[in-house]
Amino acid sequence: MMFLFETALLKGDVEALKEVALSKENPIVADVAAYQLSQLDLNSTLKGELMSGMVLLQEGYALLKEKKSR
């Protein structure tokens, strides 16, 4: 699973990241994969438990930044 995760990160392979994110083999790696996937694919609905706070923080920051630039 770690090799697939590393390869997916290096290549930006969204499908492989989805596979890792949905895996039950290693919950921590799956959560980090879901986070990485949300960074690559903004339409992704996968948000892991551990990194979901970070995702929300980044989404909020993006909204603040967008509002300031208008």
Residues with Cβ within 8 Å of residue 38, at least 6 apart in sequence: 44, 46, 47, 55
Q: Per residue in 17-50, pLDDT tens?
A: 999 999 999 999 998 888 888 777 666 555 566 6
Residue ranges of domains in the chain: 2-69
pTM above 0.85, yes or no: no
Percentage of the residues of the chain whose pLDDT score is greater than 70: 77
